[in-house]
A and B are shown apart, each in its own frame.
Chain A
């Protein structure tokens, strides 16, 4: 664990993964899934089989065009649905078999947020991330407040603490949602298309932050995205999905071959290696 470098508040501590040993690990073995419009008709969409692993401090990007099964795979990883075959294991336990609150202590899923019904302050929202710990009807302890405060500062959202949720900008709200996920002290952090509504500066800032969080807190981070170059730049491994099939798993340099990328994304692409060993995809020629 890195010492508390660069922190200004004296009491700040890192958010450790709730289970420091054994090392948080996601194991996906031959997972497949299918769904159909009704119970009786033939499957409209099949996903898998998919296999891969994620270590602590790793960022894995699930990459693919729209309707390639990325979100379905994410839901499988989150344990929200049970795979038709294969296993999703988190720290050795099958994700979909975990008790709801235990699962929420290990896995945090960050999605686009629904509309809030009533007014809520930012700190109240982030505190809700502590729900999986303790009894169902619970009152927050000082430790909960400390963890929530730390989560907010880790996403640089300290000044937003007392603001109303509905008054935040898109980027601010996303940081707060991320803070709530961090307050869960998860081993596994899942994000579904987090860069969707951000401008390029926001996208880069988010991925940099994820990198820092993975390093500092030891999370395994899985990001679903279709941003080719950001994925290449920030992730340790990439899983390439197309039409429900897992075409490649590996480091960005291994996965980014021009022919495969062209097939998957349906655009004329070239791959260029950058000095830091990370590939970059560029549109080729005149279009």
Chain B
């Protein structure tokens, strides 16, 4: 009997973080601009010392303006989607749940389209409108998904699927009837794309804000991980053991939806990651959510940064949207997992 200890969690996450570090290094080295590893390291070094003037402006631009923000965004989105996926799989008692099954991404997409049509040149409008669309969907599905005053897994799933279909229908209607302004950008957004520019020029501040939201939402969900372990053996049983099942469900729902909304507003609907990373982490490290949540976060970051690096290189100089890469790689992984049938 070897119960989970904080030490083991830290060791596992440390190991995963080391893998992430390697992936980040490879990603930093990847790009069309000719800059050597040494020059990258020097730029980072001088940047850490605050000596921007000692770095050639183009190097600074490439490292801190182009590559690092994209990598940071990839880490953020990967962590957010994977933790959200793990949360939804427990909440909906369904191993096939992914962060988009409750319609959050459709709501965000609708918000983005409306903003593209209504305010096409306002900087940052897309992200804000996408998040607003996500939030509205989250609230609507919450109220639809209740039964007997509390969230019911089956009802929630149905409500989410209905919401997703309905919103997708509206999106299709809008796309075909509106005078298409610049809706081709939507195709990239819908597939999931990390190259969307930041809404402000102060990128580090924006990233700090995003990571704060990630930390809060993921932290809130992590606080319920002991509860989730029990709920996974049965809601009634968990109740008998003293878990406030009703409250935990609401907390997990809000936290997971917020994480999904965050990821989708920033980079569109990148698929497969929220579904598969928790499963792979389960296979490797077990089903205890106290370990699964942080492991999924780091695992998701690895997955997205790796996928984005590949997306930037396979058909260089053209860049594939990262969602295309996760779909290409995700489908075989999904089939493999299905055949091993995690039970």
Whether chain A touches chain B in the assembled complex (some CB pair under 8 Å):
yes
Instruction: Specify which chain B residues have a CB less than 8 angstroms from the CB of A108 in the assembled complex.
Output: 240
Instruction: Specify which chain B residues have a CB less than 8 angstroms from the CB of A138 in the assembled complex.
Output: 226
Determine if A284 is an interface residue (Cβ-Cβ < 8 Å): no
Q: CA separation between A111 and B343, bound complex, in Å?
A: 22
Candidates A116, A118, A128, A139; contact of B241 at CB < 8 Å: A128
Beyond A104-B242, A113-B237, whether A119 also contacts B3 by CB under 8 A is no
Determine if A16 is an interface residue (Cβ-Cβ < 8 Å): no
Closest to A101 in B: B242
How far does the Cβ of B235 sit from chain A's closest Cβ, in whole Å?
A: 7
Determine if A136 is an interface residue (Cβ-Cβ < 8 Å): yes
A127 near B3: Cβ-Cβ < 8 Å: yes
Instruction: Specify which chain A residues have a CB less than 8 angstroms from the CB of B227 in the assembled complex.
Output: 136
The A-contacting residues of B in range 1-54, CB under 8 angstroms, are 1, 3-6
User: What string of 1s and 0s marks CB contacts (under 8 Å) between A126-137 and chain B?
Assistant: 011101100011
Instruction: Specify which chain A residues have a CB less than 8 angstroms from the CB of B233 in the assembled complex.
Output: 113-114, 116-117, 120, 125, 128
Determine if B342 is an interface residue (Cβ-Cβ < 8 Å): yes
B343 near A118: Cβ-Cβ < 8 Å: yes
Instruction: Specify which chain B residues have a CB less than 8 angstroms from the CB of A117 in the assembled complex.
Output: 90, 93, 95, 232-233
Instruction: Specify which chain B residues have a CB less than 8 angstroms from the CB of A109 in the assembled complex.
Output: 240
Candidates A101, A116, A145; contact of B1 at CB < 8 Å: A145
Q: CA separation between A41 and B232, bound complex, in Å?
A: 36
B232 near A118: Cβ-Cβ < 8 Å: yes
Candidates A104, A119, A144, A148; contact of B240 at CB < 8 Å: A104
Determine if A149 is an interface residue (Cβ-Cβ < 8 Å): yes
A118 near B282: Cβ-Cβ < 8 Å: yes
Determine if B244 is an interface residue (Cβ-Cβ < 8 Å): yes
A166 near B226: Cβ-Cβ < 8 Å: no
Instruction: Specify which chain A residues have a CB less than 8 angstroms from the CB of B152 in the assembled complex.
Output: none
A119 near B242: Cβ-Cβ < 8 Å: no
Instruction: Specify which chain B residues have a CB less than 8 angstroms from the CB of A67 in the assembled complex.
Output: none
Instruction: Specify which chain A residues have a CB less than 8 angstroms from the CB of B222 in the assembled complex.
Output: 137
Determine if B230 is an interface residue (Cβ-Cβ < 8 Å): yes
Closest to B232 in A: A117
User: What string of 1s and 0s marks CB contacts (under 8 Å) between A96-107 and chain B?
Assistant: 000011111101
How far does the Cβ of A192 sit from chain B's closest Cβ, in whole Å?
A: 11
Q: CA separation between A103 and B95, bound complex, in Å?
A: 31
B1 near A148: Cβ-Cβ < 8 Å: yes
How far does the Cβ of A86 sit from chain B's closest Cβ, in whole Å?
A: 22
Candidates A115, A127, A132, A166; contact of B242 at CB < 8 Å: A132
The A-contacting residues of B in range 237-276, CB under 8 angstroms, are 237, 239-244
Q: CA separation between A55 and B290, bound complex, in Å?
A: 39
User: What string of 1s and 0s marks CB contacts (under 8 Å) between A169-209 and chain B?
Assistant: 00000000000000010000000000000000000000000
A123 near B241: Cβ-Cβ < 8 Å: no
Closest to A146 in B: B1
Instruction: Specify which chain A residues have a CB less than 8 angstroms from the CB of B90 in the assembled complex.
Output: 117
Instruction: Specify which chain A residues have a CB less than 8 angstroms from the CB of B244 in the assembled complex.
Output: 100
Q: CA separation between A149 and B224, bound complex, in Å?
A: 25
A132 near B1: Cβ-Cβ < 8 Å: no
Determine if B319 is an interface residue (Cβ-Cβ < 8 Å): no
Q: CA separation between A198 and B93, bound complex, in Å?
A: 28
Q: CA separation between A137 and B290, bound complex, in Å?
A: 8
Closest to A132 in B: B242
B230 near A139: Cβ-Cβ < 8 Å: no
Determine if A124 is an interface residue (Cβ-Cβ < 8 Å): yes
Interface centre among B3, B223, B234 (most CB of A within 10 A): B3
Closest to A98 in B: B242
The A-contacting residues of B in range 93-117, CB under 8 angstroms, are 93, 95
Determine if A245 is an interface residue (Cβ-Cβ < 8 Å): no
The B-contacting residues of A in range 28-43, CB under 8 angstroms, are none
Determine if B229 is an interface residue (Cβ-Cβ < 8 Å): yes
A128 near B229: Cβ-Cβ < 8 Å: yes
Closest to A117 in B: B232
Q: CA separation between A38 and B95, bound complex, in Å?
A: 34
B288 near A119: Cβ-Cβ < 8 Å: no
How far does the Cβ of A116 sit from chain B's closest Cβ, in whole Å?
A: 6
How far does the Cβ of B233 sit from chain A's closest Cβ, in whole Å?
A: 6
Beyond A131-B226, A132-B242, A137-B225, whether A166 also contacts B4 by CB under 8 A is no
Q: CA separation between A80 and B238, bound complex, in Å?
A: 12
Determine if A78 is an interface residue (Cβ-Cβ < 8 Å): yes
Instruction: Specify which chain A residues have a CB less than 8 angstroms from the CB of B226 in the assembled complex.
Output: 131, 136-138
How far does the Cβ of A190 sit from chain B's closest Cβ, in whole Å?
A: 9
Instruction: Specify which chain A residues have a CB less than 8 angstroms from the CB of B6 in the assembled complex.
Output: 139
Interface centre among A104, A105, A117, A138 (most CB of B within 10 A): A117
Q: CA separation between A144 and B4, bound complex, in Å?
A: 12
How far does the Cβ of A40 sit from chain B's closest Cβ, in whole Å?
A: 16
Instruction: Specify which chain A residues have a CB less than 8 angstroms from the CB of B243 in the assembled complex.
Output: 100, 131
B287 near A114: Cβ-Cβ < 8 Å: no
A interface residues (Cβ-Cβ under 8 A, vs B): 78, 80, 100-105, 107-109, 111, 113-120, 123-125, 127-129, 131-132, 136-140, 144-145, 148-149, 161, 166, 184
Closest 10 CB pairs of A and B: A104-B242, A114-B234, A101-B242, A140-B3, A118-B287, A132-B242, A109-B240, A123-B1, A100-B242, A131-B241
B interface residues (Cβ-Cβ under 8 A, vs A): 1, 3-6, 90, 93, 95, 222-227, 229-230, 232-237, 239-244, 282, 287-288, 290, 342-343
- The contact sample of 21 A-B pairs, CB cut-off 8 A, is A80-B239, A102-B242, A111-B237, A113-B234, A116-B232, A116-B233, A117-B90, A117-B95, A118-B95, A118-B232, A118-B342, A119-B343, A120-B232, A120-B287, A128-B230, A132-B242, A137-B223, A137-B224, A139-B5, A139-B290, A149-B1
